Structure 1
Amino acid sequence: MYSDQSLPAEIFGIGEIDDTVFVTDESGNWVFSFQGYFDEMGEVGDRLGMDTYCLVVDPGQRTCYGGVVECLAVNSELRLVLTEEAADALKVPPNLSFTLRLPVEELAILKAALSKILTSGRSDAIPEHLEFDICES
């Protein structure tokens, strides 16, 4: 199970590598990665349910494929609603909320990356609700 003390309330950094964007806490020791799906595994990945975006929480490299029901990045807040299965796999609560302590340029990068990543892969894994209205606070 998860511990609320293990989750940061604020995000202080982001990074982007290829088809992945990640957010970090102030220390950089806690990382939540969003990885896009772009058919690298072919039929094997499809059969294993890996034919969609991937979420990874570190430390622990806890991973799941799909599982985001809602993603809202509005002003300086990132809110995620996960399926119970995704929350269990990642060992986080199903409702996550983070204050984004990021410069405007990084907010724009995060918005664009999440929009692309969370709509990659099979259509039934695309979140039911996506809202990206990040603006300067």
Structure 2
Amino acid sequence: MRISRFIPVLLALAAAGALHSAQAHHAFAAEFDANQPIELKGTITKAKWVNPHSWLYFDVKGPDGKVTNWGVEFGAPNALANKGLTKSDLKAGDEVQIKGYRSKSGEAFGYSVYVTLADGRTFQTGGAQDAPTAAAPLAR
């Protein structure tokens, strides 16, 4: 049996594996709603600095006084660091302001385009290539 007969099969299997990996990484439009912008202010509870997306969790007090813990997706840790934002900038207990988009499910999570820290510094946090752009928040 000649090995050249198996080359097309091996190539097909490799392509299928690559396609599966590409599909596992979702696009903005798969999970978030560009028609539902959010601007939230709250207190940081946790920051997860992980690949492929970092996450920030923070408590937001509603008009009725009820506190809801929100989670927002950030870009990859390396991309955030290249923009000057590090995990040590996101301390539990600090105030934070988020500008971004709500999840399609309507649950308390979304996609962050910008984060403004308590000291007034603002960083672009989004990394999805198909995400809409949002106007930068005004400096405090």
TM range (shorter): 0.3 to 0.5
Q: Tell me the TM-score normalized by structure 1.
A: 0.33
Larger Rg computed on CA atoms = 2
Q: Tell me the TM-score normalized by structure 2.
A: 0.32
